Amino acid sequence: MDYSIESLSLDKLQSDCVLVGVYENQQLSPAATTLDALCGGLISKLISRGDIKGKTAETLLINNIPHANIERVILVGFGENGKVTRKQYRKALAAAIKTVKDSKVKSASSALLDVVVEKADIAWQARQIVEVFNDGIYQYSATKKCDDKLPLQTIRLIANDSQIALANSGLQQGVAIAQGVELTKQLSDLPGNICTPSYLAEQALALAGQHADLNCEILEESDMEALGMGSFLAVSRGSRQPAKLICLNYQGGDANAKPIVLIGKGLTFDAGGISLKPGLGMDEMKYDMCGGASVLGILRAATLLNLKLNIVGLIPSSENLPDGDANKPGDIVTSMAGKTIEVLNTDAEGRLILCDTLTYAQKFDPEVVIDMATLTGACIVALGRVPSGLFGNDDELCNDLLSASETACDAVWRMPIWEEYQEQLKSNFADLANIGGPDGGSITAACFLANFAKDYRWAHIDIAGTAWRTGAAKGATGRPVPLLSQYLINRAG
Ligand code: BES
Ligand code: MN
Ligand code: ZN
């Protein structure tokens, strides 16, 4: 999709389709008022007739406009004038792009920057238009013919002279983040027989090939063996696909600036191993690599924005399958950190691959380490599918992430990792057990990881409930790419 800023006024504009905002109580946005005058009062007539009430996310397509250069108009409802929240704005944008899609136009012009949004500026609004629209037009096509390919090719954001500078910077950020999200969704939606650890590694190498400051190195199982990653390798024993530890290095900052290390769980399929999962919905465990795909998406955004930061991306990637050679409940493995782990449930495999990656991260002398993982079903029980779970050993880092999540509209909710929970991870036969019983499962998983992240500032984001949608709209969401991209933008200053 091609996104650009258009500074023409509505009377000079030539367009297949113009989007303008309307409010409750028959109120029009400035753009709608102008257009109404250009069309002999058609818009106010339709509104007073009650065809659209102006409620948030209501839309009305007007197919026939008495105007020489504008073919169609879509009225978009934003609720009460002066009280539009950021969430409402995004909700209305999502409805708007759906109506654009249904109308089969080739290009659309959005005059939605003049809708006043609480706690938002024009840059934020421009960015959201790009992000929400790009999300709405995503089509999965890797293994399925798209019968009706979307004709939409260009989206123009109409901005007046005073808005243009902010609109441009917002658009630029929006395009970078949207491309990161798109990459993450594309990889995440692929089936496990295509998206294997080797495939993810190839994609990482290809991404690195697109930017001079981004390098990629793949650690093979033999390398991991030499490093003593007994915990990670225990998970991949049951799989015929070789495990990979994908290491990306982006040098956008000063040569000696400490890097921000991002770690993403890259389980390309999680059957549970010998502790086999139930069959219902097991297909969704192809999404157990969403954390890894997010790291690639975030690095895509960071390189597109040429962020002045050093970033290391680490993606431990494996399958978790049952096999005669798979690890078994009761097995004891030795992690790279030297701690022994009793594998009481082979389905708690994410923490087993992450703990060795957390230890490996130390070699980069990190500024901070942030991991993202579809780690626990318990996180969905605790928080539902609205926020991701946030855990961490440093208040400043957690607060930075909370504030980035507000701006990005990519919610997180902080959870405790108090030492009391460590009791649940005690084992009679090893330094740690890999599960902590039925209570507080997302917390004990985070507490397990905390044992391997003691030497640096660390946060863990459990995205089990937020990285994909289930049900009829099954598909990846690209979260938490917006959150982490915002965090990096804020860090780059
Ligand atoms: N990948 C799953 C977590 C998961 C479950 C994510 C459902 C999204 C939806 C993880 O590897 C797992 O299986 N966790 C177990 C842990 C348990 C055995 C302690 C879980 O959540 O059931
Ligand atoms: Mn599992
Ligand atoms: Zn898993």
pLDDT for position 335? 99
Residues 6+ apart with CB under 8 A from 428: none
Distance 490 CA to ligand 1 centre (A): 32
Question: Are the C-beta atoms of residues 28 and 180 closer than 8 Å to each other?
Answer: no
Instruction: Give DSSP secondary structure letters for 189-215.
Output: HS-TTTS-HHHHHHHHHHHHHT-TTEE
- Per-residue tokens: 329: 């409940």
Which alpha helices (H) appear in 305-451, and where do they start and end?
350-361, 377-383, 395-408, 441-450
Domain boundaries 180-492, corresponding CATH code: 3.40.630.10
Other CB atoms within a 10 A radius of the CB of residue 324 amount to: 6
Tokens 């191993």, located at residue? 273
Residue nearest to atom 6 of ligand 1 (CA): 464
23 pairs with which residues across the strands?
A: 27
Kindly state if the Cβ of 345 falls inside 6 Å of ligand 1: yes
Which residue ranges make up each domain of the chain? Answer: 2-161, 180-492
pLDDT for position 146? 80
Give the integer Cα–Cα distance in Å for 197 and 239. Answer: 11
> Are domains 2-161 and 180-492 of this chain identical in fold?
no
- Per-residue tokens: 336: 């790279």
pLDDT > 70 in the chain, percent: 100
The torsion angles phi and psi of 478, rounded to 5 degrees, stand at 80, 0
pLDDT for position 68? 78
Instruction: Give DSSP secondary structure letters for 214-237.
Output: EEEEEE-HHHHHHHT-HHHHHHHT
Whole-prediction pTM: 0.98
Whether residue 351 lies in the annotated active site: yes
Distance 271 CA to ligand 2 centre (A): 7
Question: Are the C-beta atoms of residues 1 and 151 closer than 8 Å to each other?
Answer: no
Q: Per-residue pLDDT averaged across 129-146, rounded?
A: 95
Kindly report the average pLDDT of the chain as a whole number: 97
pLDDT for position 363? 98
Q: Name the band, by pLDDT with cuts 50, 70 and 90, for residue 285.
A: very high
Give the integer Cα–Cα distance in Å for 282 and 76. Answer: 39
Beta strands at 244-251 and 214-219: parallel, antiparallel or unpaired: antiparallel
pLDDT > 90 in the chain, percent: 97
Nearest residue to 284 (alpha-carbon basis) of 481, 480, 463, 474 = 474
- Per-residue tokens: 10: 């509505």
Residue 97 burial (C-beta neighbours within 10 Å; 0-12, 13-18, 19+): buried
With the most atoms of ligand 1 within 8 angstroms of its CB, the residue from 267, 376, 383, 421 to mutate is 376
Nearest residue to 365 (alpha-carbon basis) of 417, 317, 310 = 310
pLDDT for position 272? 98
Distance 206 CA to ligand 3 centre (A): 26
Residues 6+ apart with CB under 8 A from 190: 142, 143, 199, 286
Helix, strand, or coil (residue 481): helix
Tell me yes or no: is domain 2-161 CATH 3.40.220.10: yes
List the catalytic residue out of 277, 339, 457, 491.
277
Residue 57 burial (C-beta neighbours within 10 Å; 0-12, 13-18, 19+): middle
Give the integer Cα–Cα distance in Å for 401 and 407. Answer: 10
* pLDDT tens-digit map of 49-72: 999 999 999 999 999 888 779 999
- Per-residue tokens: 61: 């397509």
Residue nearest to atom 5 of ligand 1 (CA): 377
